[in-house]
Amino acid sequence: MAESHGGAKGPAAGAHTEADGGHHSGGFPPFESSTFASQLVSLAIFFVLLYVIVSKLALPKVGGAIEARQNKIEGDLAEAQKLKDQSEAALKAYEGELASARSRAQAIGNESRDKANAQTDAERKALEAQLAAKLAEAEKTIASTRTAAMSNVRGIAADAAGQIVQQLTGVIPDAASVNAAVDASLKG
Amino acid sequence: MIVPASPVRAGPAGRPRPAGMPGRPRDAAPMKIDPIHQFNIEPLFTLGHIGNHTIAFTNSSLYMLIAVAIISILMLASGSQLVPGRLQSVAEISYEFVASTIRSTAGAEGMKFFPLIFSLFMFICVSNLVGIIPYTFTVSSHLIVTAGLALLVFFTVLIYGVAKNGVKFFKIFVPHGVPGYVLPLVMFIEVLSFFLRPVSHSIRLFANMLAGHIALKVFAGFVAMLGFSLGAIGWVGGVLPLALTIALYALEILVAFLQAYVFAILTCIYLNDAIHPGH
């Protein structure tokens, strides 16, 4: 040390020793037994104090902080995993929904097409039936008209035959025989 | 500690000298290096008496108190944020460092002694690091302090080992696979080494701190001595010891931490014997 106390081991040190209550008799300080009791007592006091602070306050606090962080990280990871699982489940559900909706849409399409077809068929059949009825009626009308016309033709034919016979022979023929002749010719 | 050339100084540890304590002579040979002075124990006030012994609050006590205060502030005032700040990171790194040291040397059961080992490690580490600051006092540069800590460890091992394992604890003196005819000799050596543990445990720390501080002081003293005795040439020549001082200072910072770690890890190894005898 740069401090100048070359005479420290001399008389001045002796005076110092007396003032300090026996310390520094000029020897090597770590081996001065007179200081041991003081040092041991203060070491005991402060080390016990430190031990109490460390074991009761410091380590629980710091350890708690570390543990809380660890728990937080693990909790967050678990939460993230849970959310990931949830989103995957949601995606799967969405895909399922999509597939079922698609199949349902197809089913609805088929159904409505079938229904439309059936309806068209039914309408067509109804129309055909209606037309057939009208046709039958028309045919009946034609037949009756023909029958009527045919009966008129017999009358006309009988008249015409009577006139022709009158013209040729000058004799008015008997109506009954004319009719019989016309009928015979018509049948023939 | 290093004390640069300062012919006038307040006290041995940079504090005002307590009243009633005569100052040292300042008129002697100007550049005499006294590397021992830094280890002086200076009583600050008297606490009481035990038998013939005066129990005083000394500079050593003060630095123990400072170490306890620094550790308490570091560990307690650093907050418990989810995302730690700087101080909290230091506190948590210390916690994890000591915890992993215990787990790797003494196993999970060693965590019972976590508070003890943490206290030892932090106390030695902080007081060593404080002690490298110039003008401060180094608590662990006194054999009585390191011996107190080493004996604490020794008796913890002995008492816990016997209480937990009973007679089986003494299997640590009987290594496996030793032929019968050398067993007595091996046992003798084992027992001897067991009882010498507190000696080596304490002297390792004490001697490292003492020697380091003396070496620093001597090299730093050379700078001033050269300068004051040779003038300008001396100051230029002082660059070399100054560089050495700086290098030594860096080394001493490493040693301060390393010796605390060595003390803690040896404590773990000794406790491992108490927890798992016969390994």
What pLDDT digit, counting tens, does each position of B12-37 carry?
444 444 443 344 444 444 456 677 88
Three-state secondary structure along A32-53?
A: CHHHHHHHHHHHHHHHHHHHHH
Residue B23 within any structural domain of the chain: no
- Tell me if ipTM is over 0.95: no
**Residue B27 is assigned to a structural domain of this protein:** no
Structural domain for B213, as ranges: 51-275
CA A87 to chain centre: 12
Of the two residues A97 and B184, the one the predictor is more confident about is: A97
Coil, strand or helix at B136: coil
Residue A15, min C-alpha distance to chain B (Å) = 8
Which of A151 and A103 is assigned the larger pLDDT? A103
| Alpha-carbon distance B181 to nearest alpha carbon in chain A (angstroms) | 43
Contact check, Cβ <8 Å, B145/A39: yes
Q: Which of A19, A34, A69 minimises the CB distance to B22?
A: A19
CA B94 and chain centroid, separation:
17
Chains A and B form CB pairs within 8 A to the count of 213
Q: Which residues of A touch B50 (CB under 8 A)?
A: 37, 41
Give domain status of residue B20, yes or no.
Answer: no
Average pLDDT for B205-226: 90
Structural domains of chain B, count: 1
Number of other CB atoms surrounding residue B142 within 10 Å: 25
Q: Nearest by CB to B50, which of A2, A34, A37?
A: A37
Residue B247 lies inside a defined structural domain of this protein: yes
Please indicate, yes or no, if residue B40 is contained in any of the structural domains: no
Q: Once rounded to an integer, what is the mean pLDDT over residues B172-201?
A: 87
Check residue B40 and give its pLDDT.
Answer: 85
Q: Which residues partner with B45 through β-bridges?
A: B57
In a domain, B271, yes or no: yes
Q: Do A42 and B64 touch (CB under 8 A)?
A: yes
Residue B4 maps to a domain: no
Percentage above 90 pLDDT, chain B = 48
Query: Chain B partners of A69 at a C-beta cutoff of 8 Å?
Result: 82
Nearest to A66 among B55, B95, B149 (CB): B95
Reply yes or no on whether the pLDDT at B10 is more than 90.
Answer: no
Number of H helices, E strands in chain A: 4, 0
Residue B255 lies in a domain: yes
Residue contact A8–B65, C-beta within 8 A: no
| CA–CA separation, B176 and A179 (whole Å) | 157
Global pTM exceeds 0.80: no
